[in-house]
Chains A and B, each alone.
Chain A
Amino acid sequence: MCRGGLVIALLLALSGSRMACAIDATSIADPALEARYLELTHELRCMQCQNESIADSPVGLASDLRREVRDMLLAGKSDDDVRNYMVARYGEFILFRPRFSARNAWLWLAPPLFLLIGLGVAVRVVRQRGALALTDPDVPDDDGRS
């Protein structure tokens, strides 16, 4: 099979899985609301099973929470309203995508910071090597020996 076909098959499988995983057939007439409902229920953790989203979980609490999400969306609440509602009751842990806060700031900031440090070190090393090659009369040539 060609590689393109494989990728397309994979993408199809992934995009399809969203719908396929949703455990109940929801009945939100408005497709925009329905899309937000799917998005939100997939990023809220089922507290009972912990490694599933409430969209994927068959347990009773997950279906109750799906109902709350649906009701809040139908009542015109924003996505953040829904997230805040859930966090106020179950804590930050219910979000699969933790929000930026003072407590986890270092987690968010560490990777770019380390990247910058790495870049800095790399630049310094390259510069030093360059300077070395220019000033050192014994610089080895391509043959390796001076």
Chain B
Amino acid sequence: MNRFALPLALFALLVVVLAISIRHSPDKGTIVSPLLGRAAPGFALPSLTDAQHKVNSQDLKGHWYLLNVWGTWCVECRAEHAMLVEVGKSGVIPIIGLDWKDEDDHALEWLAQLGNPYQAIGVDHDGRTAIDWGVYGAPETFLVSPQGIVVYKLVGPLTRESWAQEFLPRLPQRVGAGS
């Protein structure tokens, strides 16, 4: 009995450690962003729709916004676009687009065809802003607080479910009430 006690205890410890690790491991494929809970990276990008102005992160301070990373080369972005239009129409929260490594005329054509849910669209030709945000695929959608803190990041297309389950509950009642 006694000679088995120690190995058994060690084995039990191993099982507990592995069980905890498995429980806490995130889904395969989605990587938890180190940006969560931190200040959103600043940017000042040329605007897709307004050659006179830049899309500047400074101007976004003080209210909630979504940053949606997309590109016309991205198949999933087409799939989520209708949902973005719906959210844009609801007026719950402004959506800022980050047109990632895309052709301007393709992007404009896309918006003319599918609708433009964005309050402003920054053009990231060289992909540097996307790197600062830790973007590794499109679409990705960030929720940023009035203090400029990244509150949530969605990897993959925005759906009705993710909108209701992940975004709305994180918004204050007053803002979310409009939906």
Residues of chain A touching chain B, judged by Cβ–Cβ distance below 8 Å, are 47-48, 50, 60-61, 64-65, 68, 87-93, 106
Contact = CB atoms under 8 A, between A and B. Distances in A.
Contacts of B35: 89
Contacts of B62: none
B91 interface: no
Interface string B108-131: 000000000000000000111011
A91 B134 contact: yes
Contact of A90 (B31, B101, B127, B128): B31
Nearest to A63: B127
Contacts of A50: 29
A87 B131 CA distance: 11
A77 B17 CA distance: 39
Contacts of A47: 31, 136-137
A47 B34 CA distance: 14
B35, B101, B132, B136 — which one has the most chain A CB atoms within 10 A of its CB?
B136
Contacts of B56: none
Contacts, number: 43
A91 B127 contact: no
Interface residues of B, number: 19
Contact of A68 (B29, B33, B131, B133): B131
B85 to A, nearest CB: 26
Contact of A61 (B33, B34, B136): B136
Given A90-B134, A106-B17, A64 B31 contact: no
B136 A48 contact: yes
B57 to A, nearest CB: 16
Nearest to A121: B6
B32 interface: yes
Nearest to A91: B34
Contacts of B133: 89
Contact of A89 (B17, B101, B126, B134): B134
Contacts of B128: 64, 68
A106 B17 CA distance: 10
Contacts of B17: 106
